[in-house]
Structure 1
Amino acid sequence: MTSRIIPAMMGDVKKVEVVVAHHDCATVRVGDVFLKIDADQRRTDVEVQAMAMAPIPTPEVLWRKPPVLALAALSGTALGRLGEPSTASPAAWADAGAAARMLHDAPLPPWPGRSPDELESQLDDACGWLVTSGVLPTTEVMRNRRIAEAALRPWTPVFVHGDLQAAHVFLDKDEITGVIDWTEAGRGDALFDLATLTLGHQEHLNDVLTGYGSDIDLDLDVIRAWWSLRSLRAIRWLVEHRFDPAPEVAVLNSQP
């Protein structure tokens, strides 16, 4: 079946675009089709199941033949990108907040998410590596480590995307057309998704909360803690996979 579908969908395509590629997985775009190649099929299992369960728009699964998952491209443009100013309107950010709320109100997925104890262990490992590697000054690492501690508290689990960065949210005329990259989905803290969405775009937090709803038990210290925790954990992975961690470093430096 796959050998018949690919030519029909890609016969007029003149180039292949490498979207991202590293040791774990790669994504390439061929026309209006994204091909995700992942050596760990557990991540793909989570992605496919999470998209099927999510009450918000997601890419259409065209076919799957391990290790490849074929997804239809979404219309529109990304809400924003870390390290770059967002040109999206306040209404677009509010719509992203409303989509997050719909997801968080949905039934929990059957698989577990990370616990505070697990995250604390990962945070300790990340900070230890940052200090010994010299990527960041020790004082900056420890300062953000203290900020991050506020996130390591019990929470009521909800259905989280797990990597709800602005680059994964697509809109057309301020309306959500879909959310991509669900491999980290599971049970987690609602504030983590909101913090991830506004990472590097702190000026849009109020817009997101307008769409999300005012009845959330919001603690700005926890939002800031997730900004620090996510950035501290991400930098080692980015460096080891030869990506530029400058946007995450900027987030850490900007923390009060």
Structure 2
Amino acid sequence: MDHGSMSDLRIVLLGKNITENNRVGNFILGRAAFESEAPADVELNIERHRGKLKDRDVTVINTPHLLRPNLSITQITQGVKECVNLSAPGPHVIILVLQENDFSDNNRHRVKYVLNEFSKEALKHTIVLTDEREIHNNAIHQLIQECGDEHLQFDERKSGLHSEILERVEKILKENQVQFLISDLYEEAGEETPEDGEKRRSGGSVTAEEEGDFDHEDDGKIKQRNKEKMEVAVQRKALCKFCWQES
């Protein structure tokens, strides 16, 4: 199977507002796949539905709880791992559904942390979606710049919006010459034990040392994390090459 094929697009939706995430997901799929309201007490709810975006088969992984401020490092990693597993071998594009009146610079650091958990290349594969064409929120404006100025106004009344979303997705993939995001968590996602699954579903128990203050996550920590991921990737590549030589 060619995992680089563009026949099946895999899109992850991230956002702070459950209703807005579901609205965008349903629009992309062209049907009411996601419930208009999700239980407020759910800590981490991830749903996957398939449908059509114009003439393309599309899988939408909707995770409106992944940016919640009460999630720990462990829970975020588990959530990203599940997203990667549901979009195996990895998502093509991440769409950030944001609202100007409810997004701070602290939120921007949290978003960047979560994106970095997907892949060090995630910012290059991210589209920021807002209801407004003109952005007056400095944190959103800066995040759009960090995503290569990939911003799209979401207005369901606008004709041709499905085509515009599809064109934007294809543009991102063409520019980066990468068909999908390769995550360090992909191999691990397929190796979940029954105990891991139960811990993930229950939210898990997190120690104080595991808790993270994502509101103050700085670029230095993210760069260090990227460096560690790069070292792991190099080691895996070398090991893979050795395995192929031996086979």
Please indicate, yes or no, whether the TM-score normalized by the shorter chain is above 0.5.
no
TM-score by length of 1: 0.25
